[in-house]
Structure 1
Amino acid sequence: MTQDSEHGTLGDDRKAAALGSGADTVDAMQAAADGDQYLTFTLGEEEYGVDILRVQEIKGWQRVTPIPNTPHYVKGVINLRGTIVPVIDLRERFGMQAQEYSKFTVVVMVRVVARGGRERIMGLVVDALSEVYTFQSEQIRPAPEFGAALRTNFIRGLATVDENKMVIVLDVDELLSDEDLAIADDQSRIAEVVRSAGQEGTPDE
């Protein structure tokens, strides 16, 4: 996993260096072995987390190629080293008020496993990055039931960081609807839109 330099580094080979050396490294590695790591980010006042093993890359916000006849929260597509990746604004996906993107806005590229086991890469626009936490399974409590009228199957659970902070842990495989995932499959239509726009997709970085 890589990340643009403007937003720091979370690459696997550099995460180890960030842990320190000697006894501190051993302790940190043991702590990681006892739980799963989650990359967290903010949407409004809330903090959300996704399994860090699903995160492929993190990029600053960049221009996307809009795709017609898609939901409003689908901002468009980008060209990620030859792969056309749909970009979805999570704030709008969750029904939150849209806001102007800033220098803190990032796109988290996640690996989604759809029905049938097929994998796709999707970009999730979030307000800002937060932290990387290690949670043991018992720390993640089931989300409360809100009734059938509110879709919450994409919430894996709630993890308490301290007395005043809670992280909403997301299940990326349930986060996107079948309609969202179908966008990633419609490569021929996307390619035609890109050609019509007079480009090969947004430039790779």
Structure 2
Amino acid sequence: MAELESQFQLVTFHLGEELYGVNIMDVKEIVKLQNVRFIPNAPYYVEGIINLRGEIIPIIDLHKRFKLQSGSASSDADVNDGGFIILNIEGSQIGIIIDKVERVVSVKAEDVKEPPQMLSGIGSEYIEGVIRQEQGYLIMLNIRKLFNAKELQKIIEMQ
């Protein structure tokens, strides 16, 4: 945690019932759900690709990556809340599917605690830290550890 600035911002979102966050500096944009084109022989967690203003962006399903249930049973009003967060990882753009975007929050580095060994089925290797909040906790993801170098190269080649 020492490499974190004293205060930073996270884009927060839901995957199922859990609240996650990624550093705002790693986020290019948030876009509404759209059709994803299937790619044969892609890794199990790659949903496919989208064409976003002429750029081909691989889309990752974090539910599959983290072995989580897909979005919670939601009302029709919540259907439009889902979308993609487009991340910049190692100079490439990769989209992740989210159930619902929440908001941008400011976090003090001192409030980030070490992740427990196992948290909601996600291995601690993907987690930068955990932040206590009034309504439970926020899981801060380390997007650079979501994929090993070989996986990242395969995903980038899809572009």
TM-score, normalised to structure 1, is: 0.65
Q: 1:35 Cα shift?
A: 1.0
CA contact (8 A) 1:112 1:172 kept: yes
* Bigger Rg over Cα: 1
Give 1:104's aligned residue. Answer: 81
Structure 2 residue runs without a partner (length 5+)? none
CA contact (8 A) 1:85 1:184 kept: no
State the distance in 1 between where 2:79 and 2:43 align.
Answer: 22
CA contact (8 A) 1:74 1:86 kept: yes
State the distance in 1 between where 2:27 and 2:137 align.
Answer: 21
CA contact (8 A) 1:42 1:48 kept: yes
Give 1:185's aligned residue. Answer: 156
Give 1:141's aligned residue. Answer: 113
- Work out whether 1:65 is the aligned partner of 2:37: yes
Work out which of the residue numbers 109, 122, 130 in structure 2 matches 1:158.
130
- Work out whether 1:123 is the aligned partner of 2:100: no
SS in 2 for 1:181: helix
Q: 1:68 Cα shift?
A: 0.5
SS in 1 for 2:125: coil
Structure 1 pair 183–78 and aligned structure 2 pair: CA distance change class (3 A): farther
Structure 1 pair 77–183 and aligned structure 2 pair: CA distance change class (3 A): farther
Q: 1:185 Cα shift?
A: 3.1
Give the aligned length. Answer: 147
State the distance in 1 between where 2:6 and 2:127 align.
Answer: 22
CA contact (8 A) 2:16 2:70 kept: no
- Work out whether 1:169 is the aligned partner of 2:140: yes
Larger fraction in helix? 1
Larger fraction in strand? 2
Q: Which amino acid aligns with 1:105?
A: G
| Alpha-carbon displacement from aligned partner over 1:12-41 (angstroms, at most 9, x marks no partner) | xxxxxxxxxxxxxxxxxxxxx961000100
CA contact (8 A) 1:57 1:108 kept: yes
CA contact (8 A) 1:74 1:87 kept: yes
Structure 1 pair 82–183 and aligned structure 2 pair: CA distance change class (3 A): farther
- Work out whether 1:89 is the aligned partner of 2:61: yes
Q: Which amino acid aligns with 2:86?
A: M
Structure 1 pair 59–153 and aligned structure 2 pair: CA distance change class (3 A): same
Runs of 4+ in 1 over 4 A off after TM superposition: none
The answer to which structure, 1 or 2, has the higher relative contact order (CA under 8 A, 6+ apart) is 2
Structure 1 residue runs without a partner (length 5+)? 1-32, 114-118, 191-205
Q: 1:76 Cα shift?
A: 0.5
Q: 1:180 Cα shift?
A: 3.7
